[in-house]
């Protein structure tokens, strides 16, 4: 079992398979994108598989594949298939913007993917295009429909709310009423971690807008709920959740670590401290050496709040 410096059990690994993305969301990336890592700089699938194997044997039970946009990397279903085959009890999930999901959902499900989170920040086509700097809403919605049709469960929809941009709730309430999806409204943090008061919208504000539509009742969390709290309108097929990193200080219950696309292990989204796993893997380090590096990294894991205003990487470089 893996534990951090505060005796919290760490059983969740997020793996960024690429730093590249086919969208340029205004809260995530600068307009021109970011300098791309070269092919040689990012971990190979075999390197990811080796690291996940060490982590799984040490107690990691959940692995989420992220990016950038993970589906822009070729062969992702093959990675999912290998992970599922080697570790059949592993809870495998994916975070995606959904725009490439329709063509891959079936293959991913057959390979062993269990559940998916899809980022859709607006159900208004023009707002979505503006937020993503050119994205097409219909492609994300097609990805959502494909995930449901292929039996991925649960299917969660992530909505980062921005003041005066997408404080809409009616469309998402209707989506959760009509479909068995779990919509989660996420409080905004800037790409460098700090809260921007010009864009910040609290979960409480969004909840009040929802309550104006009708009474909400508490709902049990779906698998892999993490820090979200869930509600539903009576009779709805889906739920409405809130992730509140700013107003509720959720770092205290963190159970995860992150592996970046270029092979750096981070115990915290915001921590400046990183362990160079890529160099270990490429130098032929033993499983014991890799495990010791994991434990050393977790031994320095803090509360998260102390680094939030000045992290070493932006969130899009870590996988969120």
Percent of the chain with pLDDT over 90: 74
Q: Is residue 198 very low, low, confident or very high in pLDDT (cuts 50, 70, 90)?
A: confident
Backbone torsions φ then ψ of 148, nearest 5 degrees: -70, -45
Looking at 132-141, 192-201, 218-227, 228-237, which range is the least confident one? Answer: 192-201
User: What's residue 123's pLDDT?
Assistant: 97
Mean pLDDT of the chain: 91
Q: Helix 76-86 vs helix 45-58: angle between axes, to the nearest 10 degrees?
A: 30
Backbone torsions φ then ψ of 115, nearest 5 degrees: -150, 165
User: What's residue 195's pLDDT?
Assistant: 57
> pLDDT tens, 18-33?
999 999 998 888 777 6
Three-state SS string over 129-147 comes to HHHHCCCCHHHHHHHHHHH
* Rounded Cα gap, residues 300 and 71, in angstroms: 32
What 8-state DSSP symbol labels residue 74? T
Q: Is residue 315 very low, low, confident or very high in pLDDT (cuts 50, 70, 90)?
A: low
Q: Between residues 27 and 314, which one has the greater pLDDT?
A: 27
> Nearest-5° angle of CA 34, CA 38, CA 39?
130
User: What's residue 320's pLDDT?
Assistant: 61
> pLDDT tens, 156-187?
999 999 998 888 899 999 999 999 999 999 99
Residue with tokens 């995930």: 147
> pLDDT tens, 260-300?
999 999 998 877 889 999 999 999 999 999 999 999 999 98
User: What's residue 245's pLDDT?
Assistant: 84
pLDDT higher than 50, residue 307: no
**CB neighbourhood size of 88 (10 A):** 8
* Rounded Cα gap, residues 112 and 305, in angstroms: 35
User: What's residue 268's pLDDT?
Assistant: 85
* Rounded Cα gap, residues 124 and 137, in angstroms: 8
Residue 220 C-alpha from the chain's centroid: 20
pLDDT higher than 80, residue 313: no
- Residue ranges of domains in the chain: 12-317
Superfamily of domain 12-317: Aldolase class I (3.20.20.70)
DSSP H helical ranges for 64-161: 76-86, 105-111, 125-132, 137-149
Looking at 25-29, 32-36, 122-126, which range is the least confident one? Answer: 32-36
Report yes or no: 113 and 92 within 8 Å, Cβ to Cβ: yes
Element (H, E) at 124: none
Q: 30: which 2 tokens?
A: 């600068």
Q: Say what the pTM is.
A: 0.93
């Amino acid at each position: 079992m893996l534990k951090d410096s505060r005796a919290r059990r760490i059983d969740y690994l997020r793996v960024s398979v690429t730093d590249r993305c086919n969208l340029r969301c205004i809260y995530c990336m600068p307009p021109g994108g970011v300098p791309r890592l070269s092919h040689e700089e990012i971990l190979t699938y075999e390197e990811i598989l080796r690291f996940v194997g060490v982590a799984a044997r040490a107690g990691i039970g959940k692995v989420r594949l992220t990016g950038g946009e993970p589906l822009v990397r070729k062969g992702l279903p093959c990675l999912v298939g290998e992970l599922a085959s080697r570790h059949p009890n592993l809870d495998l999930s994916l975070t995606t913007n959904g725009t490439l999901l329709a063509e891959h959902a079936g293959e991913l499900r057959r390979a062993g993917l269990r559940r998916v989170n899809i980022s859709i920040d607006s159900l208004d086509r023009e707002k979505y295009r503006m937020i993503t700097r050119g994205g097409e809403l219909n492609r994300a919605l097609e990805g959502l429909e494909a995930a449901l049709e292929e039996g991925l469960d649960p299917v969660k929809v992530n909505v980062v709310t921005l003041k005066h941009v997408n404080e809409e709730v009616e469309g998402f309430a209707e989506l959760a009423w009509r479909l068995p999806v779990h919509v989660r409204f996420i409080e905004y943090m800037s790409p460098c971690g700090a809260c921007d008061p010009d864009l910040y919208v609290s979960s409480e504000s969004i909840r009040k807008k929802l309550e104006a539509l009708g009474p909400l009742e508490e709902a049990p969390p779906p698998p892999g709920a993490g820090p979200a709290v869930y509600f539903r309108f009576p009779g709805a097929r889906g739920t409405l959740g809130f992730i509140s990193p700013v107003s509720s200080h959720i770092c205290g219950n963190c159970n995860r670590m992150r592996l970046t696309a270029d092979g750096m292990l981070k115990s915290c989204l915001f921590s400046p401290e990183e362990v160079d796993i890529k160099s270990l893997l490429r130098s032929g380090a033993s499983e014991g050496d890799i495990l010791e590096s994991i434990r050393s990294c977790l031994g320095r894991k803090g509360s998260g709040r102390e680094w939030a205003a000045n992290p070493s990487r932006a969130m899009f470089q870590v996988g969120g």
